[in-house]
Amino acid sequence: MKKMSILSGSLKSVTFCLCAAGLVLMANARIALAADPIGLIKTSSGTVNIGRGGQKLPAPAGTKLYQSDQVVTEKDGAVGMTFIDNSRLSLGADTVLALDKFRFNTTTYEGEFVSSVKKGTLAAVSGKIAKHTPEAMQVRTPSAILGVRGTKFLVSVKD
């Protein structure tokens, strides 16, 4: 009987270790997915920066965009961005845009795209997220939340 209880205890330890390792792998997989780029800067002129993780980074064409980035154009800046659902956003001079939430399933086209214009101008052409589920794309401003129902729109936020 003693041999069996030692073996049983060892199996429980192994099972526990395997479960713990599986949870760590799942957590790392989630982190990797959250760190996947959601879009790309296609055009950039003048002074354009990205606020990411407390850092201010220059944003030339080719820069990858991530959820929670803040795209900032100065008085001489303008930027054009394309996202993985084929949404396209353009910012004019002196604009601040926060990419609050973005998720997109490339198979089903389900997802959510929420951004906030703090100030400045935004021109947009919606992509597959809004075509699949129109209420899934929102643009927030200091005084309103816009639900995207069409394919093209312009937002201007004054100081």
**pLDDT at position 29 over 70:** no
Distance CA 105, CA 53 (A): 25
DSSP state of 50: E
Distance CA 66, CA 75 (A): 24
Burial code of 5-43, b = ≥16 C-beta within 10 A, e = fewer? eeeeeeeeeeeeeeeeeeeeeeeeeeeeeeeeebbebee
Query: In this structure, are 79 and 7 located in the same domain?
Result: no
Whether pTM exceeds 0.95: no
Chain segment 43-85, per-residue pLDDT in tens: 999 999 999 999 999 999 999 999 999 999 999 999 999 999 9
Query: In this structure, are 128 and 148 located in the same domain?
Result: yes
The residue with greater pLDDT, 68 or 149, is 68
Average pLDDT for 149-153: 68
Chain segment 95-119, per-residue pLDDT in tens: 999 999 999 999 999 999 999 999 9
Query: In this structure, are 16 and 62 located in the same domain?
Result: no
Query: In this structure, are 25 and 44 located in the same domain?
Result: no
Domain extent for 9: 1-35
Query: In this structure, are 30 and 47 located in the same domain?
Result: no
Question: What pLDDT, on a 0 to 100 scale, did the predictor assign at position 145?
Answer: 66
Question: What pLDDT, on a 0 to 100 scale, did the predictor assign at position 14?
Answer: 44
The CA distances from residue 116 to 6, 15, 40, in Å, are: 59, 46, 18
How many domains, the chain? Answer: 2
Which tokens go with 21? Answer: 């390792």
pLDDT band of 2, cuts 50, 70, 90: low
Query: In this structure, are 134 and 70 located in the same domain?
Result: yes
Question: What pLDDT, on a 0 to 100 scale, did the predictor assign at position 112?
Answer: 95
**pLDDT at position 4 over 80:** no
Average pLDDT for 130-158: 79
Average pLDDT for 21-30: 44
Query: In this structure, are 106 and 151 located in the same domain?
Result: yes
